[in-house]
Amino acid sequence: MKASKRKNENNKKLYDISMMDLDDASYEKSRKGQGKRKQVAGKSNNREFAVITYFFLALFICMAGYFIYFITVRSEDFINNSYNARLSTLSNYVTRGRILSADGEVLAQSFTLEDGTEIREYPYGATFAHAVGYSVNGMAGVELDGNFNLLRSNSFILERVIKEIKGEKNQGDDVVTTLDVPLQQAAYQGMGQYNGAVIALEPSTGKVLAMVSKPDYDPNTVAADWDQLISGDSTALLNRATQGLYPPGSTFKIVTALSYLEQNENYGSYTFDCSGSYEVSGYEIHCYHNKAHGQENLLQAFGNSCNNAFANVGLLLNPKKYISLTDQLLFNQPLPTKLSNVKSSSFTLTENSSSAEIMQTAIGQGNTLVTPLHMAMIAGAVANGGELMEPYMIDHSQNDQQEVVKQFYPESYGTIMSSDEAAVMEEFMRYVVTDGTASALNTDRYTVYGKTGTAEYNSNKNDNHSWFVGYARDAYGKEIAIAIIMEGAGSGSSHAVPLAKKCLEAYYR
């Protein structure tokens, strides 16, 4: 009895001394009066042992910290990867949740038929095709990006248990998007028979308000139409808003002008005399319809979308700084966004490029290719004082009692231009609407800023993509950034601007 008590006391002492106090003093104290057996090197203290112990402890704590960080923050990048086969098993126990618009309209929902098969219904048909996507034969859109949330059930725990016992499927969580139904409908209908894309963002948050791409497909019948959709000449599955690479045409003058602002403090003193055409070392540039704009400053040249003046501006730029600005504006790199299947824009000018190449590039022809999403992001950054918000389309997921399960918050990428540059650019883009090529958008109800574009895409000068890139703000501070491209439609003023008008009317309804 006594022996065992002693042992336990000793046991206790062992912990007291070294486990919790790894410092020398307490060890020395503990050694006092202990039996002498083969003393090592006269003095013995445990400082080195403590160093090693603390080193490992720190290492393990860091590792545990990383593990926590991975599960809470990083894991989403991996969970939703198309290589992750695990999510599909969840559908055995969960009925896929609904996809809703920002104001709660149903964009996708699932029904279970009497024979147990699950049907996915898209009430708006093709209108939301590329935004909401599909979930058979692979996935796209919100169906892909929100797959994990749609297949999780967070309904009331008792209800889940009861369904579990009955062997029924539980209701998956709803995904609430940032999409605005009237705006999406206006954009979709406004595209008419043209191919192309419309993307609208909220500049202060990066929320995607509308995303249209044409040609499109009916998500209700994707499985049945599959063979036709993937046949060689069909591009209906391609989301042109995020993956379509287009020559930017005159909308690229935003970038060229920004570069000039950055490199020349006295940009106000720039003047150019436009005579309809402009030739440098054997290469000749023309303005649209060979129009001669006469004497103009940079603001007027921007408003007139004067090719000759901007070809001249391009030649005045320091190529190195021009390239580094496009870098800063995220050309040739993945765009910061939670949306999947997004292509990078390309800008190929080098320091050795010929003056012909520079002239073409400066007016948005040449080899530059952009996605509509990218242009909308740049416009959004101008509206937001230079700060770029990362585009996202899923606002939150909620259970069947409308309780929020997972909220997604706006994320800032940082500033891609100074607030001063953004302010000057705002003035320029405003001038395009008050006195330039987008005057059809001038209204008292809200203020529009923008740039039109007419992009040549083959050797026929009459084949043009119609572009509009810009943003609007009303008296209450409600903002929208938008990029519109209509393939082969003609000039920006004639097609993209009227469509922008329809979209803005729908947004400021």
Residues interacting with another protein, by CB under 8 A? 3-22, 27, 33-35, 37-41, 44, 46-53, 56-57, 59-60, 62-64, 66-68, 70-71, 74-79, 81, 83-87, 89, 93, 148, 161, 164-165, 167
CB of 27 to another protein, least distance (A): 7
Interaxial angle between packed helices 419-435 and 253-263, expressed in degrees from 0 to 180 and rounded to the nearest 10: 130
Cβ distance to another protein smaller for residue 29 or 478: 29
Can you say how many angstroms the Cα of residue 310 is from the centroid of all Cα atoms in its chain?
Answer: 29
CB of 476 to another protein, least distance (A): 41
Cβ distance to another protein smaller for residue 153 or 239: 153
Cβ distance to another protein smaller for residue 84 or 228: 84
Q: Map tokens 């038929």 to a residue.
A: 113
Closest CA to 382 of 449, 336, 436: 449
CB 133 within 8 A of CB 144: yes
**Could you write out the DSSP letters of every residue in 24-74?**
HHHHHHHHTTPPP-S-SSS----HHHHHHHHHHHHHHHHHHHHHHHIIIII
The dihedral through the CA atoms of 392, 395, 398, 400 has a sign that is: negative
Helix (H, G, I), strand (E, B) or coil at 502: helix
Cβ distance to another protein smaller for residue 92 or 458: 92
Interaxial angle between packed helices 419-435 and 372-383, expressed in degrees from 0 to 180 and rounded to the nearest 10: 110
Cβ distance to another protein smaller for residue 36 or 509: 36
The dihedral through the CA atoms of 429, 487, 389, 395 has a sign that is: positive
CB of 370 to another protein, least distance (A): 24
Cβ distance to another protein smaller for residue 62 or 223: 62
Closest CA to 436 of 309, 256, 301: 301
Cβ distance to another protein smaller for residue 43 or 509: 43
Cβ distance to another protein smaller for residue 5 or 509: 5
CB of 95 to another protein, least distance (A): 15
User: Which tokens belong to 446?
Assistant: 């809200």
CB of 334 to another protein, least distance (A): 11
Cβ distance to another protein smaller for residue 324 or 333: 333
Closest CA to 481 of 251, 305, 264: 251
CB of 204 to another protein, least distance (A): 31
Alpha carbon distance 172, 167 (integer Å): 15
CB of 73 to another protein, least distance (A): 11
CB of 389 to another protein, least distance (A): 24
CB of 333 to another protein, least distance (A): 14
Q: Torsion over CA of 417, 433, 490 and 246, rounded to 10 degrees? A: 10
CB of 448 to another protein, least distance (A): 40
Cβ distance to another protein smaller for residue 67 or 111: 67
CB of 70 to another protein, least distance (A): 6
CB 383 within 8 A of CB 426: yes
Strand partners, 274: 294
CB 454 within 8 A of CB 464: yes
Alpha carbon distance 189, 458 (integer Å): 27
Cβ distance to another protein smaller for residue 68 or 224: 68
- Burial level of 234, CB count in 10 A (0-12/13-18/19+)? middle
**Which amino acid is located at 106 in the chain?**
V
